[in-house]
Amino acid sequence: MYPVTRSQPSTAPLAGLLLGAALVATASAQNSGVSGRIQAEQSYKAGMGLVQEGRLQAALTAFQQGLRSDPSNRILLNALGATYSLMGDSQQAERCFLRVLAGDPRFVPARKNLALEYFKTGRFDLARREFEQLAQDGASQPVAHLFLGILSARRHQYAEAAAHFEKSGDVVFHYPQAILALSQSLLALGRPERCWPVLDRLSEAPGVAAADYLEASRLYADCGHYSKALEMIERARQKDPALPSLDEQRAVILSRMGRTAEALKVLELVTAREPHADSLNLLAHMAERVGDLALAVQSLRQAAELAPEREENYLDYSTLCLDYGNYPLALEVAEVGLSRVPRSYRLMVQRGAVLDKLGRRAEAERVLRRAAALQPENSEALLSLAVTQSHDGHLHEAIETLTAALARFPQNYYMHYYLGNLIVQLGERQGLTPTLLARATDELDRAIRLNPDFADSYFQLAKLYLKTDSKAAEENLLKCLAHDPRHPSAKYELGRLYLRTGRRDQGRQLLEEFAAEREEEKVKEEQRPRIEARR
């Protein structure tokens, strides 16, 4: 998905929960019997009536009057805190709830309101702690598990989120945030067929905001239900025509439906009316997809001007130039980006990659080493450094770089693949000794275990066997072509292998296919557009 600003889903239903928790307090707690009990009860009833009428300031006065008669009354303190919360004064609300719990840690309505206050104000770790305690209380379990589900989904712990939502029961369908979080969790767990029926319940929930419908649109689109996704956008527009990203999301969906020209028109209108870096970036990617490189370059340049602090705009602009053959402009854009975001790891790696393409490899190595020092997760910089070293003919140095990198990133399949590839190259240069053969085989086998769909790993493994084990070579070449039927080198080597082993018809057919496809690719490359202009 291209970058589009996300709006925050509504928290409006929390007001009902806060008020509900205050009302529950009358039935769940008794006054201590101190003097002023009658006045406190009258103040509570009067205050709750005023809250229900929406007269919050008057309700505060009523509750405060009651507390003057009974300062430690937990029911009044809880109601006062709930009212402060409804008025948006989180600091005063939190003080009231904590004061209640200091006197009675088992007073559930105040703990529930405190948990909701933490949640509403974005203090999610504190909220989780309170909801975990509430999950031990029978009556509070459904709501506690509902919010624990939302919090788990926020942390991308989707299996845990789905388990909490299951424990919360049908209460999930009364809260838009919960419906969206459950849908997101089911989608992330690979259950799209269960996701969209949950989303269908969103319109029945109270307090659905425009942002909720927009988020539902994204989720429907990810489920492949594009017509429903477009319908949700229109519902969001009816609720709030000025909601950011409505047209951008509509363009994304139209593009995914194959209606790219229509999507481009939508984005061109949006960016002409109100230019925004995210919208322009999205427009650039769609323009590139249809081959309009001039529009793509113009959009990314404008995005960088509008948001000079955003590394993505320079990175995408530089990558576009790199992909379409204008290496000097790709370097210029990366360097402009680094002048504005000087400690950008990704832009520095990009600069190193472009310098490598320009043949300025000593400079590329220096830049990539500086990039690697910028952050602990520097696998991309180290891999790029090894690539540059190998392009410069320094195979031993490249192998040392990757060997050290894999000690820190053992699950990086591409590092294993490239290391195996380098060892194969070294063997071709100085002779493939049994030690080199064993090491190359081991690295390529690891790459395949980590990513069995990457065709090139099978090809490099086949190259190790071409002179010594025709059967193993053929097996790996066939696996390579199974994952990439147009892999030219695999098709060529398999055709030659068939000729050597007497299967001439099959061999000639493969070599003819290779020649035809190579010619087709040559024509495509000649016709491929280039970014020529520097400005």
Q: Number of C-alpha atoms within 13 angstroms, CB side, residue 366? A: 3
- Mean pLDDT in residue range 295-311: 90
Rounded to 5 degrees, φ, ψ at 425 are -60, -40
b/e map 337-371, b = 16+ CB within 10 Å = bbeebeebbbbbbbbbbbbbbeebbeebbebbbeb
Q: Number of C-alpha atoms within 13 angstroms, CB side, residue 80? A: 27
- Mean pLDDT in residue range 175-190: 94
**pLDDT in the model for residue 96:** 93
Highest mean pLDDT pick, 10-19, 193-202, 425-434 = 193-202
- Mean pLDDT in residue range 230-258: 93
Rounded to 5 degrees, φ, ψ at 230 are -65, -35
Over 80: is that where the pLDDT of 2 sits? no
Domain ranges of the chain: 1-134, 440-527
Closest listed residue to residue 323, CA positions, set 515, 528, 163, 464: 528
Q: How many CB atoms lie within 10 A of CB 27?
A: 8
Place of tokens 């080198």: 489
**pLDDT in the model for residue 494:** 95
CATH topology agreement for domains 1-134 and 440-527? yes
The torsion region of residue 326 among left (phi > 0), alpha (psi -120 to 50) and beta comes to beta
Confidence category of residue 292, pLDDT binned at 50, 70, 90? confident
The overall pTM is greater than 0.95: no
| Amino acid at position 357, single letter | K
- Mean pLDDT in residue range 427-444: 90
The torsion region of residue 36 among left (phi > 0), alpha (psi -120 to 50) and beta comes to left
Q: Measured between alpha carbons, how far is residue 384 from residues 217, 302, 364 in Å?
A: 38, 29, 9
* Cα separation of the two ends of the chain: 28
Closest listed residue to residue 162, CA positions, set 134, 128, 189: 189
Strand, helix or coil for residue 21: helix
Q: Number of C-alpha atoms within 13 angstroms, CB side, residue 520? A: 8
Judge residue 87's burial from the number of C-beta atoms within 10 Å of its C-beta, 0-12 exposed, 13-18 middle, 19 or more buried.
middle
| Mean of pLDDT over the chain | 89
- Mean pLDDT in residue range 262-276: 90
- Asked whether the beta carbons of 232 and 216 are under 8 A apart, the reply is yes
Please state the CATH superfamily assignment of the domain spanning residues 1-134 in this structure. Tetratricopeptide repeat domain (1.25.40.10)
Confidence category of residue 36, pLDDT binned at 50, 70, 90? low
Q: Where do the H-state alpha helices sit in 37-173?
A: 37-52, 56-69, 74-86, 90-103, 108-120, 124-134, 141-154, 158-168
Which is more confidently placed, 513 or 524?
513
Q: What percent of the chain lies above the pLDDT cut of 90?
A: 68
Q: Number of C-alpha atoms within 13 angstroms, CB side, residue 47? A: 30
**pLDDT in the model for residue 522:** 85
- Digit-coded pLDDT (tens) for 131-156: 999 999 888 899 999 999 999 999 99
Alpha-carbon distance of 421 to 399, in angstroms, equals 10
Alpha-carbon distance of 419 to 413, in angstroms, equals 10
Alpha-carbon distance of 144 to 370, in angstroms, equals 48
**pLDDT in the model for residue 33:** 52
Q: How many CB atoms lie within 10 A of CB 404?
A: 11
Confidence category of residue 247, pLDDT binned at 50, 70, 90? very high
- Digit-coded pLDDT (tens) for 369-425: 999 999 999 999 999 999 999 999 999 999 999 999 999 999 999 999 999 999 989
Whether domain 440-527 has CATH 3.40.50.10190: the reply is no
Closest listed residue to residue 25, CA positions, set 92, 65, 76: 76
Over 60: is that where the pLDDT of 84 sits? yes
